[in-house]
Chain A
Amino acid sequence: MPGLDLYSAPAIDLHQRACPRPAARLPYAGSPGMGRLSPARVEMHVLDNTQVERLEAEAVNSAKVRQPMYAARKKIFPKRATGSFRRFKWLVMAITLGIYYLTPWLRWDRGPFAPDQAVLLDLANRRFYFFFIEIWPQEFYYVAGLLIMAGVGLFLITSTIGRAWCGYTCPQTVWVDLFLVVERAIEGDRNARMKLDAGPWTARKLALRVSKHAIWLVIGAATGGAWIFYFADAPTLARELFTGTAAPVAYITVAVLTATTYTFGGLMREQVCTYMCPWPRIQAAMLDENSLTVTYNDWRGEPRSRHAKKVVAAGQSVGDCVDCNACVAVCPMGIDIRDGQQLECITCALCIDACDGVMDKLGREHGLISYATLSDYNANMMLATAGGSSSVNPSLVRTTDGPFSDKVAHFHIRKIFRPRTYVYMGMWSLIGLGLLYSLLTRDRLEVNVLHDRNPQFVTLSDGSIRNGYTVKLLNMIPEPRTIVVTMQGLQGGEMSVVGDDIKVGRSFAIPVEPDRLKMLKVFVRQPADQIQGTAQTFTFRVEDKASFESDEYTATFNAPETAR
């Protein structure tokens, strides 16, 4: 993982120069053991200058305390965060969960010949319905196009606002958030949960644990249950599901998704992101110096101190960070953002909320931890270290009376617009426009023709030559239509159709069921004296007289060399 720490190399280096304080930290965060959390230890430590709660928090996945590869996982007990990012995440959670759970129940009237479910993957009939769009299997390239758009869209998002997908909208993040809501509601916030976890098994602990896991399983079942409604008529399937009459595959799907939701969201949590998901690796490679990431601004935070007044009194410089560990306590990934950018960080921005809350209490500016780009950070770091010649000196970034100096770089929206993002935006829009154009101009009436190969032609008793064709009429709208099939070209040629009433002529009309394919066996015969060569071409033209839609297929007519 060291190779991926874009930011950490300079950050850690400067930390070590700026704050040689391992001894000072030991009593608070030195030993990684959880068993030492006696009530006395959990008590609040009040900082010397204001009423900021000192939290017993440890960045269990911090690079500094990282154990060998085979260390067992340490549980993380994220504290509830409050602030603008947390509110935004609640909103995103409500929207994404709402979309997921409610979409299958939306209705969309398509007339009597098609299902009225707005979004439906009808695997049995091989149709995909999405509001006013209906896709047949051969049009699956629309889905492929959407997936490519999603990919390029992720590139665009990542290059501008970093791992926003991970932090806000990834189902893993959303469901872990949901599971944490349950955990907090039942077991309490961070300290209560840690205490419960460390304590002996009592009836109360058992009851809390059982109810927590039970609710998790219910959420898992609801997740799996919602999934299957995308594949069948939701109200019907729901009735079948609860009366025990649904297909076994429905129950199996629900069971599998219940298990994965429970395991990933409840038990594995941050390990899914850190160990299973390839996306963090890809994203780490895609970030550049102008991508926004959640950043600890050590150029104003260092040297951090829990006893700022004493330090100032001693004549030493002191940064904004009071080492309260609020950022660590809220982190669902168990890292310390102050170590720099890390693979584990999903940029959920909860540490920003936590730190901003502390800064409010201290009466200092927000943004000790903030969304920042590497280039801004580096510029400010150069400023704070006087070009790298000294350790971080916060007074260099401030004017004498307190506020930040004008030289401090702040993020500007302009940085989002750069050639790279234009290219991504261009690709994304081009694919989108291409798909849209193709969708608006696509055929809803098609004809496919398969020429008989065995035999290629048949000589009839009057000497005329006959060829056979399998003609497939595709009525791709959910309404019955009468299709007129006409042959163009092939002098003297006539068609006949195998069926209850055999039609002969150069044109015939045939009813086609709504949203179905009609397969016809069509024989075409040409009198011997009109044959012009061993391979002539002619056209099958299909037309819907009502909608003026039409399609054509150019077919070949074979004749033996000996025919006149």
Chain B
Amino acid sequence: MSNEHIDQVSGVSTTGHEWDGIRELNNPLPRWWVITFYVTIVWAIGYTIAYPAWPLLHSATKGVLGYSSRNDVKNELAVAEVAKGKYISAVESKSVSEIAADDGLREFATAAGGAAFKVNCVQCHGSGAQGSKGFPNLNDDDWLWGGKAEQIQQTITHGIRFASDPDTRLSEMPAFGDIITTDQIAQVSTYVASLSGKVQDAGLVEPGAKVFAENCVACHGDNAKGNKELGAPDLTDAIWLYGSGEAAIAAQVRAPKQGVMPAWGARLGETKVKELAVYIHSLGGGE
């Protein structure tokens, strides 16, 4: 196909390619296109010199401008840290109840605490802080160790029954299965259940009250309202960590389950714990 072929209609020579009688015109590329094409090539060469480009065995050329996307990220993070700085320093210097009382600070701490909660707390307390059996619901107004912002902060910092923290919140309900009889357990369970609802055998309530007075008031109080100093739950309310009803209560009297919460103070630092405390306090049950 070396002979030049001129298209009759347009007067333009063809490329010599032919498909079923259709020929391709050899029109020149538009000059602006050609110029742009060459400019991009020149640009590309300059670019590969200026920026990291050519792969080597174990790394790549660094480029004369010393650009690095990692540095970009580092700088952006630094800028973000500076932007957060004034809030962080305020959180550091103020008490949690002061933070909770300040609209702007509370908003910041709630957002930061919410993020920390999603990473560290949802495994036990659930993504909505709604808890589950054995793991307290943090939305409600029933607090074993107190629902004031400072008390929540204390609980998060040192944990509950967390052996390696000397300041951990500590209490242990004895296993009454070894101390009182099975009948007494049934009686006291019925009594406790009667404090917040109907019971099946009302005859057990009165002897149960006696058993309660002899064994339980030390921690749970005369009126069974519990004691937050000892983490002793209020037995008169509608919230039951290990289930409501006589059977569940009896099981807990016989051989109590005792939850453990890690101490987060050393792991997360004081600021993060404060933010978490403010967040949890804002969930609706805070006192």
Which of A's residues lie within 8 Å of B, judged by CB? 68-70, 452-455, 458-463, 466, 468, 496, 498-500, 521, 523, 528
Contact = CB atoms under 8 A, between A and B. Distances in A.
B139 A455 contact: yes
A461 B137 contact: no
A68 B99 CA distance: 77
B282 interface: yes
A521 B111 CA distance: 13
B11 A68 contact: yes
B27 A458 contact: no
B69 to A, nearest CB: 20
Contacts of B66: none
A110 to B, nearest CB: 26
A458 B103 contact: no
A459 B128 contact: no
Contacts of B126: 455
A500 B102 CA distance: 7
Interface string B127-171: 111100000010111100000000000000000000000000000
Interface residues of B, number: 28
Interface in B11-30: 11-12, 27-28, 30
Interface of B: 10-12, 27-28, 30, 101-103, 106, 126-130, 137, 139-142, 196, 234, 237-239, 282, 284-285
A460 B27 contact: no
B140 A468 contact: no
Contact of A461 (B11, B101, B106, B140): B140
A314 to B, nearest CB: 40
B10 A466 contact: no
The 7 closest A-B pairs by CB, nearest first: A454-B128, A461-B237, A463-B238, A455-B130, A458-B139, A461-B142, A455-B128
A498 B11 CA distance: 82
Contacts of A523: 284
Nearest to B143: A461
B11 to A, nearest CB: 7
20 contacts: A68-B12, A453-B128, A455-B130, A455-B137, A455-B139, A458-B139, A459-B238, A459-B239, A460-B142, A460-B239, A461-B141, A461-B142, A461-B239, A462-B238, A463-B238, A498-B282, A498-B284, A500-B102, A500-B106, A521-B282
A460 B140 contact: yes
Contacts of A452: 128
Nearest to B31: A72
B139 A69 contact: no
B244 to A, nearest CB: 10
Contacts of A454: 127-128, 130
B237 A462 contact: yes
A421 to B, nearest CB: 42
A500 B238 CA distance: 28
A452 B284 CA distance: 12
B238 A70 contact: no
Nearest to B239: A461
Nearest to B238: A463
Contacts of A521: 282
A69 B284 contact: no
Contacts of B285: 458, 460
Given A454-B128, A461-B237, A521-B282, A68 B140 contact: no
B141 A70 contact: no
B70 to A, nearest CB: 24
A461 B238 contact: yes
A263 to B, nearest CB: 12
Contact of A70 (B30, B102, B139): B30
Contacts of A461: 140-142, 234, 237-239
A70 B282 contact: no
A68 B6 CA distance: 14
Given A458-B130, A459-B140, A462-B237, 6 more contacts: A70-B27, A454-B127, A455-B128, A455-B137, A458-B284, A460-B239
Contacts of A460: 140-142, 238-239, 285
A499 B282 CA distance: 8
Given A455-B139, A461-B234, A468-B284, A70 B28 contact: yes
Contact of A500 (B103, B139, B284): B103
Contacts of B102: 500
Contacts of A499: 103, 106
A528 B197 CA distance: 12
Contacts of A496: 284
A149 B126 CA distance: 52
A69 B30 CA distance: 11
A555 to B, nearest CB: 16
Nearest to B282: A498
Nearest to B127: A454
Nearest to A468: B284
Contacts of B282: 498, 521
A500 B140 contact: no
A525 to B, nearest CB: 9
B238 A458 contact: no
B283 to A, nearest CB: 8
- Among B127, B139, B285, max chain A CB count under 10 A is at B139
B42 to A, nearest CB: 20
Nearest to B128: A454
Nearest to B237: A461
A499 B286 CA distance: 11
B132 to A, nearest CB: 11
Nearest to A523: B284
- Among B30, B129, B140, B284, max chain A CB count under 10 A is at B284
Contacts of B12: 68
B162 to A, nearest CB: 26
A68 B101 CA distance: 79
Nearest to A452: B128
Contacts of A463: 196, 237-238
A455 B285 CA distance: 13
Given A455-B130, A460-B238, A461-B237, A69 B140 contact: no
A453 B127 CA distance: 11
A237 to B, nearest CB: 24
A458 B140 contact: yes
A166 B12 CA distance: 35
Contacts of B103: 499-500
Given A461-B141, A498-B282, A498-B284, A528 B238 contact: yes
Nearest to B284: A523
- Among A454, A458, A500, A528, max chain B CB count under 10 A is at A458
B148 to A, nearest CB: 14
A459 B237 CA distance: 10
Nearest to A454: B128
A268 B219 CA distance: 91
- Among A69, A70, A461, A499, max chain B CB count under 10 A is at A461
Contacts of B141: 460-461
Contacts of A453: 128
Nearest to A464: B238
A329 to B, nearest CB: 29
- Among A68, A460, A462, A528, max chain B CB count under 10 A is at A460
Contacts of A458: 130, 137, 139-140, 284-285
B199 to A, nearest CB: 16
